[in-house]
Amino acid sequence: MKTKEQIALQEQESESIKISGAEAVIRCLLAEGVDLIYGYPGGAIMPVYDELYKFQDQLNHVLTRHEQGATHAAQGYARTSGKVGVAIATSGPGATNLVTGIADAQIDSTPMVCITGQVGSHLLGSDAFQETDIIGISTPVTKWNYQITKASEIPEIFAKAFFIARSGRPGPVLIDITKDAQFDTFDFIYKKCKGVRSYKPFHALDTHAVTKAAELINKAKKPFIVWGQGVILGQAEEQFKSFVEKSGIPAAWTILGLSALPTAHPLNVGMVGMHGNYGPNLLTNECDLLIAVGMRFDDRVTGNLETYAKQAKIIHFEIDPAEINKNVKVDLPVLGNCKESLDALIPLIEKKSHNKWMGRFDELMKVEVDQVINKDLYPKKDGLTMGEVIVSINKHTRGDAVLVTDVGQHQMVACRYTEFIHTRSNVTSGGLGTMGFALPAALGAKMGAPEREVVAVIGDGGYQMTIQELGTIFQTQAAVKIVVLNNEFLGMVRQWQQLFFDKRYASTEMVNPNFIAIAKGYYLDAKKVDKRENLDSAVADMIASEKPYFLEVCVEKEDNVFPMIPSGASVSDIRLK
């Protein structure tokens, strides 16, 4: 093992030293401030693992139980810490197992660098053992990728990879390194990447567009803000809050924007989209000005585009030029980093309140509370609801926790009802809808924010897709609180079968194992709740624990999530039942 002094000496930029490509990989990671990576070893990446062994006092490697788990853990880490997540795997199946997480990170703009081993360069194209064209496979789902065949390429490519992953609209980058490039030695010098001539991370502040935006905002009678993850990725939470408060405009979130503005903020009117709140969806088609901030008009947000906010003028604050007019034609694009744009906008807007307009949101919220929310949160029937579990979690975490969710009914319920005080507190798979995301992502989320409580709420379906990561949680002792809401169904699919396929429940019923025995098999504290009177104390015990903890809650089998905009319908056609 090398001493810190030796390494410091060798890290001086000006002084080059002869080292192997594998050691260069580790030094590049350290130079980029990486102290934690997730991965799984194998033949073609062994030289790098050998160096990981030597550098283990500086670079912590977490062995996940599947490469997919490594990517989701890296994503969870990136989402709570704001840093670049790193996942590493071997060639062939190791590399292909990363693909789901890479695709998830691409569509949800998560900064991630994936490193894969590759067969020796002389074997490329020979169908060698564990050879796969991971560059070809990952091209459509990466922001950038590159195959290194010479050790001397490593410093420049790693510097570029981290720069690309974290700058502009963040995303995943994959670096594939042939085994000979890991063994070869070369003179190592590391220079951070400051720019790539063919790549513009974001547009400079457009003062003209900002001025026009302010005019539209000042004139509007019924303005409405929809914000997305761009506010969080752009670290613009303060600016966004000031903008909302000064303009007095009601603001709703997309699922990835959640937690950028506290839940209890008086102008936070809830979620838009398929299972969003009643008011924000209906009033999208009543507002006279729609101000989109760092969101991309996903089809789950807009419903039918032909009937989406046609009456409104639309302003789009956006970092990615390709998102402008992609789905929704906008009247005024404001390209650039939303932190800079909002900073410039705030002095130009008048301080206002829109009480009468805000009253419309309140009215519709009352309708939703009466017809949906009360039944979800304070049920009178025997069976437990997912909503009341969230109420109990809120009570014991006091809005302080990071919520990690998987995909499906539990995700919608948890995101709708969890209370948040802090930003970067919601980790979920939004765009790709990756079942199996939550358990490994929760591990990463906890490591990215070790001082915070992390509660993973997962369905019984998704839980079993990456259940092996219980092993990683046990080994690392990351104090993740795992709540499985077990309805013995793939609940969201079952809901669609009930509503749109005449209750033909094709392959959605699950005969589940003894989840408690499995958790205990991994030596985790575990408890099962199937009666209302035991719920609150069980949640309290779980939150009080300082160790990883598993809680299974048996919920009503055939509950549905409402409100709901049926697929392809208009936001105006939102259903309460």
Partner 1 sequence: MVKTYTISIYSENNVGLLNRISAIFLKRHINIESLTTSQSEINDVFRFIIIVKLEEEGVKKLINQIEKQVDVIRAFYHTDEETIFQESALYKVKSSALFEERHIQNIIKDSHANIVTVSPEYFVIEKTGFRNETDRLYHDLEPFGLLQFVRSGRISVTKSKMEISEILKKFKSDN
- Any contact of residue 125 with partner 1 (CB under 8 A)? no
Cα dist. 104→73, 133, 272, 373, 545 in Å? 12, 20, 21, 30, 31
Q: Kindly name the residue from 58, 130, 371, 468 that is annotated as catalytic.
A: 130
Q: For partner 1, which residue of 4, 18, 197, 356 counts as binding (CB under 8 A)? A: 197
Contact by Cβ (8 Å): 228, 293: yes
Report if residue 198 touches partner 1, rule: CB under 8 A.
Answer: yes
CB of 83 to partner 1, least distance (A): 20
The answer to whether 388 and 532 have CB atoms below 8 angstroms apart is yes
Q: Decide: is 324 part of the binding site for partner 1 (CB under 8 A).
A: yes
Q: Looking at 106, 118, 143, 179, which residue is catalytic?
A: 179
20-49 residues in contact with partner 1 (CB under 8 A) are none
Query: Site for partner 1 (CB under 8 A): how many residues?
Result: 22
Residue 573 tokens, joined: 């056609």
Q: According to the binding rule CB under 8 A, does residue 306 interact with partner 1?
A: no
Please report, for residues 309, 328, 345, the alpha-carbon distance to residue 331 in angstroms, rounded to integers and kept in the order given: 12, 10, 17
Q: Measured from the CB of residue 147, what is the shortest distance to partner 1 in angstroms?
A: 7
Whether 283 contacts 311, CB under 8 Å: no
Candidate list 56, 126, 139, 475; residue touching partner 1; CB under 8 A: 139
CB of 302 vs partner 1, minimal distance in Å: 16
The nearer residue to partner 1, 194 or 351, going by C-beta atoms, is 194
Active site residue 12: no
Q: Which of 274, 447, 492, 564 is catalytic?
A: 492
Two tokens, residue 347: 């002095």
- CB 322 to partner 1: min, Å: 4
Among 38, 40, 77, 144, binds partner 1 (CB under 8 A): 144
Among the listed ranges 138-146, 245-253, 301-309, 464-472, the one in contact with partner 1 (CB under 8 A) is: 138-146
Q: 226 phi and psi, to 5 degrees?
A: -120, 120
Give min distance, CB of 169 to partner 1, in A: 9
List 65, 143, 241, 300, residue binding partner 1 (CB under 8 A): 143
With binding defined as CB under 8 A, does residue 96 bind partner 1?
no
Please report whether residue 568 would count as binding partner 1 according to CB under 8 A. no
201 and 335 Cβ atoms separated by less than 8 Å: no
Q: What is the C-alpha separation between 199 and 233, in angstroms, rounded?
A: 19
Residue closer to partner 1 by CB (options 109, 239) is 109
Q: Identify whether 492 is a catalytic site residue.
A: yes
Tokens representing 153 are 């390429």
Query: Looking at the DSSP assignment, which residues form a beta bridge with residue 529?
Result: 553
For the question of residue 179 being annotated catalytic, the response is: yes
* Contact call for residues 24 and 188 (beta carbons, < 8 A): yes
Task: Please give the Cα distance from 110 to 426 (Å, whole number).
Answer: 13
Residue of 56, 126, 196, 514 interacting with partner 1 (CB under 8 A): 196
Is 229 marked active-site? no
Which among 129, 477, 509, 520 is annotated as catalytic? 129
Binding of residue 199 to partner 1 (CB under 8 A): yes
User: Closest distance between partner 1 and the C-beta of residue 362, in Å?
Assistant: 39
CA torsion, ordered 67, 71, 73, 75, to nearest 10 deg: 180
Under the binding rule (CB under 8 A), the answer on residue 145 touching partner 1 is yes
Check if 67 is active-site: yes
Omega prior to 266 cis, within 30 of 0: no
The one-letter code for the residue type at 8 is: A
Q: Which is nearer to partner 1, 89 or 141 (CB)?
A: 141
Query: Are 285 and 307 spatial neighbours (Cβ–Cβ below 8 Å)?
Result: yes
Which one of 82, 93, 120, 321 is in contact with partner 1 (CB under 8 A)? 321
Binding residue for partner 1, selected from 83, 246, 326, 528, defined by CB under 8 A:
326
Residue 568 makes CB contacts below 8 A (sequence gap 6+) with 303, 304
Smallest CA-to-CA distance from 184 within 23, 322, 28 is with 23
Give least dist CB 323 to partner 1, A: 8
Burial (0-12, 13-18, 19+ Cβ within 10 Å), 528: middle
- Closest to partner 1 by CB, 200 vs 520, is 200
The residue range among 195-203, 307-315, 370-378, 411-419 that interacts with partner 1, by the rule CB under 8 A, is: 195-203
Q: Give CA–CA dist 267/420, Å, rounded.
A: 14
- Is there binding between residue 322 and partner 1 (CB under 8 A)? yes
CA distances from 431 to 69, 105, 193, 295, 404 (A): 18, 9, 29, 12, 15
Region binding partner 1 by CB under 8 A among candidate stretches 136-144, 310-318, 335-343, 460-468: 136-144
Show which residues are catalytic: 67, 129-130, 179, 492
* Residues of the shown chain interacting with partner 1 in the complex, contacts defined by CB under 8 A: 135-136, 139-140, 143-147, 164, 194-199, 320-322, 324-326
